Amino acid sequence: MTDVKRSEAAFGLVKLQSMKVPADEVPEIVPKKKSRVLGSFVDVVSSGQIPHTVEARPRKKPIVNPHLQLEPFTETESDDDSIMSLLSSKDEMESDFGSQITASTYRLVIAQHEIKERMNKIKYHEELRSLKQRNKDLEERIEKLEESRRRLEQNCKDLEDINKKQEKNLNQVTESKEAIRKDLDDKNCLVIALENKLKRYEILIQSYELRVKSAIHSLSQPFLETHVFDMLDVKVKPEIDVNSTSVPQDSEKNKPTISEDMETSSGSSKHKISDRQNRRWTNSENVTILEYILKTIRSGSKIEKPNAPKYYTKMISECKLSPEITHNLLRNKVQNFRRAFEKARKENTECSYQNYLEEIWGNRSYDSSSE
């Protein structure tokens, strides 16, 4: 029995060592105690070599019955044998008891460590489960981040395409801007040229104005040089006040006569006869016609050709001429003015009317053969 208990204790010790239990937690084997049988357990407990979970109880005093009559003890041989047998079994009992305590202690420690290992395994599995769940959450988060990354890459590609289009549009705008700037420079040059040309025209118009005013002044005077009246075919009576600065209002008795040049390329003889009747032209009518021509030139509007009826209709309405004045009469009057200007130009080279005629007739020179 003792060997069995000791083997259990040794096995427990080996198992504890295989479980890698710390040395301070492994109880020592209880040594043999040479004491009395009744006091051996107390001695073992008092030695402190059993687990703290086993508490040593105090030794009880034996109850002595005073009424019990004990016989006097007498030593005999049989008693000596029994005492020796008891003393011989004392060591075995002490050894069995210590081995039993040690084995129980080992089993208790082993159970504690097994429970601790199971708790560690449970804790490990819980941590593993939480780590797996966390890993799963992280994988889902990674998938979401990958999806976000793909969207961002697509957005970056779209932005790059938009940027390329904007760069292309910007290049087109820059080219258009350069073209517009070049065109603007050309137009500025053209405007400068036109301004210079306009200045020349203004100077030319001022010279025309002076020439026409001089012609108007000559026509408004009662006594003019003889060759001017011959050019215009105007006969003025000397009754008009020479010192008067206003335009004379001639009556029918005082109206000058004029012989119209009716050599035209078209028109019937009936119209020629009617146009050759005694039509009297006043100085105010002559002045009005010249003023109309001057005003037309200064306004910048286009002047119709001499043979256009619309031009003479407008002249009649704006100059408020007499209703009996026909287009042919007015056209012949204008042609007489032109001939007078041409004759004056030939006689006086300083007062050239060629530019004036070109401005009136649309840069076209007329002579008697073209009429």
Non-local CB neighbours of 213 within 8 Å, separated by 6+ positions: none
Lowest mean pLDDT across 8-17, 194-203, 265-274, 345-354: 265-274
pLDDT-based confidence at 145, cuts 50/70/90?
very high
Of 3 and 339, more confident: 339
Instruction: Return the pLDDT at 29.
Output: 52
Taken in order 240, 244, 248, 250, the sign of the CA dihedral is negative
Phi and psi angles of residue 262, each rounded to the nearest 5 degrees, phi first: -105, 25
CA 138-144-150 angle, to 5 degrees, is: 135
Instruction: Return the pLDDT at 62.
Output: 56
Q: Does residue 251 contact residue 224 with C-beta atoms inside 8 Å?
A: no
Instruction: Return the pLDDT at 333.
Output: 77
Instruction: Return the pLDDT at 300.
Output: 61
Of 294 and 189, more confident: 189
Instruction: Return the pLDDT at 230.
Output: 44
Q: Which residue has the tokens 């042609």?
A: 335
Mean pLDDT of 15-38: 55
Closest CA to 102 of 11, 231, 209, 37: 11
| Residue 116 reports pLDDT greater than 60 | yes
| Residue 317 reports pLDDT greater than 90 | no
Mean pLDDT of 67-85: 55
Lowest mean pLDDT across 140-144, 192-196, 284-288, 340-344: 340-344
Mean pLDDT of 179-191: 91
Mean pLDDT of 89-105: 66
Q: What is the CA radius of gyration of the chain?
A: 75
Instruction: Return the pLDDT at 231.
Output: 43
70-103 per-residue burial string, b: 16 or more CB within 10 A, e: under 16 = eeeeeeeeeeeeeeeeeeeebeeebbbbbbbbbb
Distance CA 32, CA 54 (A): 19
Q: Does residue 41 contact residue 47 with C-beta atoms inside 8 Å?
A: no
Non-local CB neighbours of 206 within 8 Å, separated by 6+ positions: none
Of 183 and 274, more confident: 183
Taken in order 284, 289, 293, 298, the sign of the CA dihedral is positive
Q: Render pLDDT for 196-241 as a digit per residue (tens, 0 to 9).
A: 989 888 888 888 878 777 766 665 554 333 344 344 444 433 333 3
Distance CA 146, CA 163 (A): 25
Q: Would you tell me how many other CB atoms lie within 10 Å of the CB of residue 27?
A: 18
In terms of average pLDDT, the best of 293-297, 306-310, 320-324 is: 320-324
Distance CA 270, CA 251 (A): 29
| Residue 63 reports pLDDT greater than 80 | no
Give the 3-state secondary structure of 239-291.
CCCCCCCCCCCCCCCCCCEECCCCCCCCCCHHHHHHHCCCCECCHHHHHHHHH
| Residue 109 reports pLDDT greater than 90 | no
Q: Render pLDDT for 229-274 as a digit per residue (tens, 0 to 9).
A: 344 444 433 333 333 334 444 433 333 333 333 333 334 444 444 4
Closest CA to 308 of 331, 289, 325: 331
| Residue 114 reports pLDDT greater than 70 | yes
Lowest mean pLDDT across 111-115, 145-149, 325-329: 325-329
Instruction: Return the pLDDT at 283.
Output: 67
First and final C-alpha spacing in the chain? 168
Q: Which two tokens stand for residue 174?
A: 């820059």
Q: Does residue 362 contact residue 253 with C-beta atoms inside 8 Å?
A: no
Instruction: Return the pLDDT at 286.
Output: 73
Q: Is the pTM of this model over 0.75?
A: no
Distance CA 16, CA 106 (A): 8
Q: Compute, in degrees rounded to 10, the torsion defined by CA atoms 315, 319, 320, 323.
A: -40
Distance CA 341, CA 359 (A): 13
pLDDT-based confidence at 136, cuts 50/70/90?
very high
pLDDT-based confidence at 13, cuts 50/70/90?
low
Q: Which two tokens stand for residue 161?
A: 């395409």
Burial class (CB in 10 A: 0-12, 13-18, 19+), 234: buried
Lowest mean pLDDT across 49-63, 74-88, 97-111, 320-334: 49-63
